[in-house]
Chains A and B, each alone.
Chain A
Amino acid sequence: MSSFLHSIRWRIQAWHGVILFLAIGAFCVTAYHFAWDHQMRRVDRELQDSEHLLIRTLMDAVKPDKESGQISPEELARHLRAGDLTLPPDVVARFASNSYFSIRDFDGRILLQSASVPDDLVFLPPPKTGFSDDSRAVGLRRESLRSSSRGFSSVIGRDITRERDEMHRFAWLLAGSGLGVWFLGLLGGWWLAGRAIKPIATISRTASRIAEGNLADRIDTTGTDSELDQLSHVLNRTFDRLHTAFERQRQFTADASHELRTPLTILLAETQRMLKRERTPAEYQEALRICHDTSERMRHLVEALLLLARQEASPPSTSDAQPCSDRNTVVHQSCNLADILGETIAQLQPLADARGIKIETHLHTASCCGDRSSLAILAANLVGNALHHHRSDAPDRSVTITTGYDDELVFLIVSDNGPGIPVEDQTHIFERFYRVDKARTGDSAHTGLGLAIAKTIVGNHRGTIKVQSVPGAGATFTVSLPAAS
């Protein structure tokens, strides 16, 4: 029952039935009224003809006395009162069966009337001047009434039982055909409603299949550009986005598990090998060193993964009006990129010294709004990346770091004169686990996630990160963030 009431098809059908019923009903009632009106006007014309005939006959009866000229109503009334007027038989016959007439004086005296006259005749009261007339239905009779101020009152009527019966038949016919049309309309409506919701059923089936895990399935949108097709397009776009996000997540999980499996394999293989037989202390030491390095590598990887997950959990800010306003997940505060870079460089200076790389700085005040710790990670990743990718044998190695304002933006530029990035890799370097030097260096801090984390942080701060590189002539990473207002 509930499914019956909740079915769109049934609800459309019910509304359609009610509205169609009202429309057909209104049409039938109007048609009946027009037909009845038409009938009555016809009867009225008939009565008028009879009245004219009667009056003319009476006039003709008066005329023999007065040779010519107009006969006034008073004169006619006088003749009538005198009772010296008789009607010819054909006129009397006309009022014999179901018609009647009655002419009376104002005091109610009958001047002339037909053979059968109903008892309940009502006459119009005499008007002050001129004539008054009216047509009205009295029970099953139609009467034409006339009253003259200087003469008499008359009623000419006839029985309309036949017309009424005809109209009854017509009403039944109307009701019957109206019901027939209504029924056909209901059938058509049921078919139309079914046709209209058929795409919904298709959409629903496809969506169910997608929900069951068939993520690549899409709604067929080969139809015309109807509202439901537009809905299908919107849904398909949504499914596409969800699918892409899901695939990215799946790829990330697969990559992460792959990246974790290799060090895990090393740990297992090395410990298993060591435990097979007695070893010298030097061998144990070597094995422990391998296990330690591998564990460090896993620690860096897990930390980077968690960092990335945390950064991705903080949604990109949406408020443009107040860049420093409170946000839900990340507390944004006013930060000076120059200060952050200064701290980062102080931390990485020992690494740069160890590698013999000169760090040049042009740190100008660059205030932006953001999460200080995230921006510090961004800075450390970019500078660390530049330090790590220098070839150890090249002379005059340097990393140049610049911060400052550029119109409405603050920028951070980290450029090195290292080996650069091959053109085919430049579009991929911000992808997770993408390594330009695919032969892993064994450097435990190199997880393949640094630039992905940097990109996510920049995205969370509504900024952009770009790389320019000529292979062999160094690489330049440019970060632009909205400046603090």
Chain B
Amino acid sequence: MRLLVIEDDPALQRTLAASLREEHYAVDTASDGAEGLAKAREGAYDAIVLDVMMPKLDGWEVLAGLRPAVATPVLMLTARDTVPDLIKGLNHGADDYLTKPFNVDELLARLRALIRRSAGQTHSLIRLGGVFLDTVGKRVTCDGEEVALTPREYSLVEYLALHRGEVVSRARLYDHLFDEDDDTLSNLLDVHVSNLRKKLGHDFITTRRGHGYSIT
């Protein structure tokens, strides 16, 4: 999962990005509204964390620039906690809303829910045959046995599981699993897929030659 954090305060931006990366998200950051809008339009993000009070373009203007063309879920961060502000945010196309100061676990839970909903899933536990995916604990069990996965492997499984039935291209996987600073090697994905097949069974991930991968 790849997230974009648009936050002008450098310390808060750093802390948020660190917290999200520790939850196995690929995280890009933007320090003002204009940069954020540009990145949000270009990049393939699964969710955007957007601060309201920002220089150049504020959160509302970024949101107005995104909608309706970009459907990525947006979670707004704001210091204003009045009901009119909240309603304004939701009416302008925000999907969720958090007031500063917030609990990071709440932010993570809301982001998980946003990503899950936008992928059409209804529950945090995803069952794929004998494999169970716990998107909260970031754990995978196969036939009741917990399987140890690296963060990147887990992200790959989660992305494919959330878009189960779809054939996900390699480019799309690269877009959603690595942030802009990652050095991506062309065969990195093949290594991960091959490791996952070893751990979860050879048929768990199907390869469509020339198209990509899918989980059914």
Interface on A for B, CB 8 Å cutoff? 254, 257-258, 261-270, 272-273, 276, 290, 293-294, 435, 438-440, 442
Contact = CB atoms under 8 A, between A and B. Distances in A.
A446 to B, nearest CB: 12
B31 A261 contact: no
- Which of B12, B14, B54 is most buried by chain A, counting CB atoms within 10 A of its CB? B12
**Cβ-closest 7 pairs across A and B:** A438-B55, A258-B79, A261-B100, A265-B101, A261-B79, A264-B101, A265-B100
A311 B3 CA distance: 45
A269 B15 contact: yes
B32 interface: yes
B119 interface: no
Contact of A439 (B8, B11, B16, B19): B8
A265 B12 contact: yes
B105 to A, nearest CB: 7
B149 interface: no
A307 B163 CA distance: 56
Given A261-B101, A268-B104, A438 B56 contact: yes
Nearest to A262: B9
Contact of B10 (A265, A267, A442): A442
Contacts of A273: 15, 18-19, 22, 104
A87 to B, nearest CB: 113
Contacts of A264: 100-101
Given A268-B101, A269-B15, A258 B10 contact: no
Contact of B11 (A257, A266, A438): A266
B32 A258 contact: no
Contacts of B11: 263, 266, 290, 293-294, 442
Contacts of B138: none
Contacts of B80: 254, 258
Nearest to B56: A438
Contacts of A262: 9, 12, 79, 100
A439 B6 CA distance: 12
Given A264-B100, A435-B55, 12 more contacts: A257-B79, A261-B79, A261-B100, A262-B79, A262-B100, A265-B101, A268-B104, A269-B104, A272-B105, A273-B15, A273-B18, A276-B22
Given A261-B101, A265-B102, A440 B15 contact: no
- Which of A264, A265, A290, A439 is most buried by chain B, counting CB atoms within 10 A of its CB? A265
Contacts of A294: 11
B103 interface: yes
A449 to B, nearest CB: 16
B205 interface: no
30 contacts: A262-B9, A262-B79, A264-B100, A265-B100, A265-B101, A265-B102, A266-B11, A266-B12, A266-B15, A268-B102, A268-B103, A269-B15, A269-B16, A269-B104, A270-B15, A273-B18, A273-B19, A273-B22, A273-B104, A294-B11, A435-B55, A438-B8, A438-B54, A438-B56, A439-B8, A439-B32, A439-B55, A440-B8, A440-B10, A442-B10
Interface string B189-210: 0000000000000000000000
- Which of A264, A266, A290, A435 is most buried by chain B, counting CB atoms within 10 A of its CB? A266
Nearest to A258: B79
Interface string B95-130: 000011111110000000000000000000000000
B90 interface: no
B66 interface: no
A266 B15 CA distance: 7
Nearest to A272: B104
Nearest to B22: A273
B15 A290 contact: yes
Contacts of A268: 101-104
B100 A439 contact: no
A384 B56 CA distance: 25
B167 interface: no
Nearest to B105: A272
B53 interface: yes
A273 B19 CA distance: 6
B125 to A, nearest CB: 22
A272 B8 CA distance: 21
Contacts of B14: 290
Contacts of B100: 258, 261-262, 264-265
Contacts of B101: 261, 264-265, 267-268
A440 B9 CA distance: 6
A45 to B, nearest CB: 93
A261 B55 CA distance: 17
A254 B80 CA distance: 8
A261 B100 CA distance: 6
